[in-house]
Structure 1
Amino acid sequence: MNDIDAWVWWLVGAAALGIPLVVTAMPEFGMFAVGAVAAAIAASVGGGAVVQVLTFVIVSVALIAVVRPIAARHRTQRPQLATGVDALKGRQAVVLERVDGSGGRIKLAGEVWSARSLDTGHAYEVGQEVDVVEIEGATAIVM
């Protein structure tokens, strides 16, 4: 055991930290693994035990402090390109059959959709333009 250099132990530690990264999908383990690789580099150039540990701690903490907030911000952002029914929200449509609180038909994005008025007391007549507020199943909610 004494014949193995310190940098090898740091690489073993980095590999060991990579296992829970893959299993749990927690990116913090990956950041610790990168810190262990940095400590292995410090050990390979002759840094003592204190330098190795400080390198591991500084690199790991710096990655967590910088990368984690960026990753969290990207995770909470909505995609730039709306697809599916999300792309239809906010679009305009033309009334084909009278639309009120109980139903009707509109032409939306070149397709005929069933529609319902958002305000149940308000009706839209044939030819009128309406805005799509929401899509519920196969029914467009308009106003």
Structure 2
Amino acid sequence: MWWLIAAVGLGIPLVVTAMPEFGMFAVGAVAGAVVAALGGGTVPQVLVFVLVSVALIAVVRPIAARHRQQRPQLASGVDALRGRQAVVLERVDGSGGRIKLAGEVWSARTLDGDQVYEVGRQVDVVEIDGATAVVI
């Protein structure tokens, strides 16, 4: 019974702090409860708790760390607009203009202030600066 209470007690900080180690200790406590239900003594219960908890931390924690470090491969928002092509709707130069990008009309300016793009020309979006597309 005490092992199940410990498992619940360890589950609470897991939810509050989002630290997966508490969940691994809770699973170890459940394993200790199983040993107790099978009639194991105090020493085997504690050993099973420690072994299961340490094994989970040793195996699961490095896998979780690798997944946390990976960046998502799918770009969204303005990041998805970089590198896309657009069509010039109004003359675009270093001070401004308009383009049609991804079905929407955007204000735009050239990356090189001396460059000028006329209506109908296709341009590439280099970056998004606020609500302005920077094009080449």
1:49-101 Cα shifts (integer Å, max 9, x gaps): 23222221222122222222333333343444433323222211112222232
Distance 2:114 2:60 in 1: 51
Structure 1 residue 12 and structure 2 residue 5: aligned? yes
Structure 1 residue 38 and structure 2 residue 31: aligned? yes
Name the aligned partner's letter for residue 126 of structure 1: V
Q: Which residue of 1 aligns with 2:40?
A: 47
Structure 2 residues not aligned, in runs of 5+: none
Of residues 71, 74, 90, the one that matches 1:97 is 90
Distance 1:27 1:82 in 2: 28
1:82-132 Cα shifts (integer Å, max 9, x gaps): 333232222111122222322211111121110122233433333222222
The range that moved more, 118-127 or 37-46, is 118-127
Task: Kindly report the root-mean-square deviation, in angstroms, between the aligned alpha carbons of the 2 structures.
Answer: 2.0
So what's the TM-score if we normalise by structure 2?
Answer: 0.83
1:68-107 aligned within 5 A? 68-107=61-100
How many residues are matched?
136
Structure 1 residue 111 and structure 2 residue 104: aligned? yes
So what's the TM-score if we normalise by structure 1?
Answer: 0.80
Q: Which residue of 2 aligns with 1:67?
A: 60
Cα distance, 1:124–1:68 mapped onto 2, change above 3 Å: farther
Name the aligned partner's letter for residue 130 of structure 1: V
1:2-54 Cα shifts (integer Å, max 9, x gaps): xxxxxx11111111111111221212111111111111112221223232222
Cα distance, 1:9–1:97 mapped onto 2, change above 3 Å: same
Q: Which residue of 2 aligns with 1:26?
A: 19
Structure 1 residues not aligned, in runs of 5+: 1-7
| Identical-pair percentage | 80
